[in-house]
Structure 1
Amino acid sequence: MSGFSFHQDDLDSPDVQALLDSHFAQMRSNSPPDACHVLPIDGLRDAEVTLWSAREDGRLLGVGALKQLSPDHGEVKSMRTAPDALGRGVGRALLHHIIGEARRRGYRRLSLETGSTAPFAAALRLYAQEGFVPCGPFGGYADTPFTRFFTREI
């Protein structure tokens, strides 16, 4: 997307921390406790996880992360667009950036876990439009009525 820049491991930026705090709160309020798999900031600092922020003229537009599950399999984590940037294609741009990085790393598959209720409708549409297809649980996740799993060959 024109004008968007991506910054790796921007976890110490106050605006990133504020957006992630909001993301965590919304995920916890919209998800049953047994189906809420949002990574806290400490989890995003894990060596297997890389987080990017999307910015435009220095302003934070969104965040997204990639977690290595195995040498050829990655997981999309912590996708969130800032409220004032909704509808601008930020989520799609972040997802394309994550897919590109997964390819560069040699991953053959990219998977994700998300919710199934109304607050997740936009994310579900995006993932379907970008070629992710339903799959079973992976990476130790439990299958719940609330949880949806998707994967895509890359």
Structure 2
Amino acid sequence: MEYRLIDETSTDEVARLAVCLTNEIIERTGVKHFDVDLPLAMALCDEFVRQGQYSVIAAFDGATIVGFGALCECRSLYAEGSFGTIQEFYVLPDYRSRNIGKALLGEIIAFAKRKGWKRLELCTPPVPEFDRTVAFYQANGFEITGGYKMKYAIG
């Protein structure tokens, strides 16, 4: 398995996996949390990577991406500076429970350290449907900080 930062040549494959992630969340919760639009996801992923707004570290099995973590840089007073947000994190089901997610998180943490970020934050999918996901992050050093993920749709 190889882990590396992707460039614009891999954005379509990452977008497909991001759509797999959103579809899995919808299927497991029975709630349509997202509007799934593959062509839009592909265009946005390409745009964000090209503009340097989105850093994606992927796990490659040969030439195939089997997992990825997408990061954005944020700033806040409470974090005392810059930090990273893991916007999406996904490993294909056939590749789970093989330490690929753990290794991918290790690469993401190393990337965050090189960027000088103070911390990494993420939001998990809903529980109890994704209790295993929460346990995975906790086993890899993340801690629950409380609260809820909320949104306000504009326009």
Deviations 1:32-71 (A, max 9, x none): 55x66x9x44554434321122112223221111111125
Which residue of 3, 6, 30 maps to 1:5?
Answer: 3
TM-score by length of 2: 0.70
More strand by share: 1
What SS is found at the alignment partner of 2:97? coil
1:15-39, Cα deviation, whole Å (9 max, x unpaired): 4343222112223344555x66x9x
1:102 aligns to 2:112 (yes or no) = yes
TM-score normalized by the length of structure 1: 0.71
CA 1:89–1:60 in 2, change beyond 3 Å: closer, same or farther? same
Aligned residues of 1:65 and 1:79 also touching (Cα < 8 A)? yes
Give the 4+ runs in structure 1 shifted more than 6 A: none
The aligned counterpart of 2:85 is: 75
Question: Over aligned residue pairs, what C-alpha RMSD do you find?
Answer: 3.1
Identity %: 23
Unaligned segments of structure 1, at least 5 residues: 144-154
Taking the TM superposition and a 5 Å limit, the aligned residue runs for 1:1-154 are: 3-9=1-7, 12=10, 15-30=13-28, 32=31, 40-44=41-45, 45-46=47-48, 47-70=52-75, 72-136=82-146, 141-142=149-150
**Number of equivalences:** 138
More helix by share: 2
Give 2:65's aligned amino acid: L
Q: Which has the larger radius of gyration?
A: 2
